[in-house]
Amino acid sequence: MPFALHKGSIRLAGLYLAIIMSISIFFSVTIYSLSINELGRGLRGPRSVIVRPVGPGFSEEIKNDILRERSVLYTEAKERVLARLIVINIFILIGGGALSYYLAVRTLKPIEEAHEAQNRFTADASHELRTPITAMLTENEVTLMDPKLSLQDAKRQLASNIEELQRLSALSDGLMRIAGLENRTLQKMDVSLQDIIDNAIHSIQTVASAKFIDIDKHPKKSNVTVHGDSFSLQEVFTILLDNAVKYSNKNTKISVNIQKHQNEVTVDVVDRGMGIPAKDVPYIFDRFYRADSSRTHQSVQGHGLGLSIAKDIITKHGGTISVKSTPKKGSVFSVRLPLVKD
Ligand code: ADP
């Protein structure tokens, strides 16, 4: 546990304990004064109470003895009540202390987890930013120091810089999107899933055509309405289709299958690409995670943010996203969304 959070837990535990102890002391004082009152009435009643039943024949000495005895009993009982209340309060202090600390740690646990996730995210993001910046810096310095630098070399260097800058720009877009998803609520309304998927296919058509990849949709026309933010949902299908294109070879096919069930709709994005090794499957929806196979593919660019953004969006729509994949055969990404009741 980080030091600040440990300090926070102790402070919160102190606060809980102060509340428990104030209640306990309040009740102890009340119990004590009530008991003393009752004892007083029983053991230190007015003199007449003792004197009257004993009658005038009773010697003054005996009367005084009884009164003294009662006074001693009263003092002893008072001390016993006080001692018991003190013992009970010590137990409450020890038990309450342990309970308060346990409750404080539990209260702060989600905050600690969010804090750790934030730290991890910042570290990963800085790493992703630093790598291309360092590479660009070194390349530029080496190029500048070359006394025989030709115009062609300079142009090559500029082209390489532009490529890196495009990657950085894509990364900053992804980071901004994540921040936006965390801080903004989605604008949900009843939207046609058909339109959303058609727009996503349209937006990816140029990259797909460049690799001679066909995108099929089944059925061609469907009448499915979901309650959601159309911009974000379109982004999800664009991410899935963009990945399907990125991780497929030329001249292959991608299919989008829409299946309407009673309460939900399933959209499968099927590709015949490189697939995902089983060891990577559990992590591909994590931020910044990229399977080794795609890292080593120089032509396939990315920062491992797309699927985590897609998952965030689908989760915020009450749906799920999952994958089934066979290396070298292809992948099926399935999105399930609740249907709007007619
Ligand atoms: P990026 O594609 O930018 O690396 P994503 O979050 O979209 O990031 O995907 C994470 C990883 O999941 C990718 O790096 C890749 O290894 C794997 N992946 C995603 N989609 C596919 C796909 N259709 N086929 C094969 N691998 C995929």
Q: CB-based contacts of 321: which residues, under 8 Å, 6+ apart?
A: 236, 285, 307, 310, 311, 314, 333, 334, 335, 336
**Structure-block tokens of residue 238:** 């664009």
Q: CB-based contacts of 336: which residues, under 8 Å, 6+ apart?
A: 264, 265, 266, 319, 320, 321
CA of 209 to the centre of ligand 1 (A): 20
Q: What is the mean pLDDT of the chain?
A: 89
**CB distance 330 to ligand 1 below 6 Å:** no
HEC string of the chain?
Answer: CCHHHHHHHHHHHHHHHHHHHHHHHHHHHHHHHHHHHHHHHHHCCCHHHHHHHHCCCCCHHHHHHHHHHHHHHHHHHHHHHHHHHHHHHHHHHHHHHHHHHHHHHHHHHHHHHHHHHHHHHHHHHHHHHHHHHHHHHHHHHHHHHCCCCCHHHHHHHHHHHHHHHHHHHHHHHHHHHHHHHHHCCCCCEEEEHHHHHHHHHHHHHHHHHHCCCEEEEECCCCCCEEEECHHHHHHHHHHHHHHHHHCCCCCCEEEEEEEECCCEEEEEEEECCCCCCCCCHHHCCCCCCCCHHHHHCCCCCCCCCHHHHHHHHHHHCCCEEEEEEECCCEEEEEEEEECCCC
Contact at 8 Å (CB) between 332 and 324?
A: yes
Place of tokens 């965390």: 182
pLDDT at 25 over 90: yes
**CB distance 294 to ligand 1 below 6 Å:** yes
Mean pLDDT of 116-122: 88
Percent of the chain exceeding pLDDT 90 equals 66
* Cα distance between residue 58 and residue 17, in whole Å: 56
**pLDDT score, position 47:** 53
**pLDDT score, position 4:** 67
Task: Grade residue 314 by pLDDT with cuts at 50, 70 and 90.
Answer: very high
Contact at 8 Å (CB) between 270 and 254?
A: yes
Strand order in the sheet with 330-338: 214-218, 253-260, 264-271, 330-338, 320-326
Closest atom of ligand 1 to CA, residue 273: 24
**pLDDT score, position 42:** 72
**Domain residue ranges of the chain, discontinuous segments joined by +:** 1-184, 189-338
Task: Grade residue 103 by pLDDT with cuts at 50, 70 and 90.
Answer: very high
Residue range 271-285, pLDDT digits in tens: 999 999 999 999 999
Mean pLDDT of 129-158: 92
pLDDT at 124 over 80: yes
Nearest CA to ligand 1 atom 3: 302
Mean pLDDT of 145-154: 92
CATH of domain 189-338: 3.30.565.10
pLDDT at 301 over 90: no
Residue range 29-62, pLDDT digits in tens: 999 999 988 887 776 555 545 555 555 666 778 8
pLDDT at 180 over 60: yes
CA of 203 to the centre of ligand 1 (A): 18
**pLDDT score, position 133:** 92
**pLDDT score, position 99:** 95
pTM score: 0.74
**CB distance 319 to ligand 1 below 6 Å:** no
**CB distance 200 to ligand 1 below 6 Å:** no
pLDDT at 312 over 90: yes
Closest atom of ligand 1 to CA, residue 275: 25
pLDDT at 257 over 80: yes
**CB distance 287 to ligand 1 below 6 Å:** no
Percent of the chain exceeding pLDDT 70 equals 91
Residue range 194-238, pLDDT digits in tens: 999 999 999 999 999 999 999 999 998 888 999 999 999 999 999
Contact at 8 Å (CB) between 9 and 1?
A: yes
**pLDDT score, position 58:** 64
Mean pLDDT of 333-337: 98
Mean pLDDT of 91-106: 95
**CB distance 8 to ligand 1 below 6 Å:** no
Strands 225-228 and 320-326: unpaired
**pLDDT score, position 207:** 95
